[in-house]
Amino acid sequence: MENLSIFLEGMLAAMVMGLVGVVIEVVRISDFNLMYLLGRFFITKNQDKPLATSLGWIIHLFLGGVMAEVYFWLVIHPGFIEDFSLITSVVWSGLLWLITMLAVMPILGAGIFIYKLGKLKWLEQLAVFLAYGFSLYYLTLSLLV
């Protein structure tokens, strides 16, 4: 890792993203729990929901840090992302959302754009990923500028 601070800020941005998803679930806008779905993929023999959710959080936070490192690398190397701005971090989170919808969700058994779990789950996840982009920008602003 090039800069531990970037990784930690990415983990914090992933925490904000996850908490937005939890709030959406708690206020009953949706019943989708991304952390449980992610952890359940790795805990197949045991139906322990708290264990699967905890594992999902750990994986999610780690991936958030790694994706922040990748974004940081793309920003500091000329020719990839021209500048660090709110727009580029939101576009980055949109790209991560698209990759998740097309590759990760089918692997987790939810189908492309989470169609197996509901019609508008993709929109909910887009909002959650945009929360990651906004928080990633504002958290790493002091580190990159």
| In the chain, domain spans | 4-144
CB 31 within 8 A of CB 37: no
Cα atoms found within 13 Å of the Cα of residue 9, Cβ hemisphere only? 22
Give per-residue pLDDT as tens, 12-36. Answer: 999 999 999 999 888 878 788 889 8
CB 43 within 8 A of CB 52: yes
Give per-residue pLDDT as tens, 48-90. Answer: 888 999 999 999 999 999 999 999 888 888 777 778 889 999 9
The whole-number pLDDT of residue 144 equals 63
Q: Which of 140, 142, 145 is nearest to 70 (CA)?
A: 140
The radius of gyration computed from the CA coordinates of the chain, to the nearest angstrom, equals 15
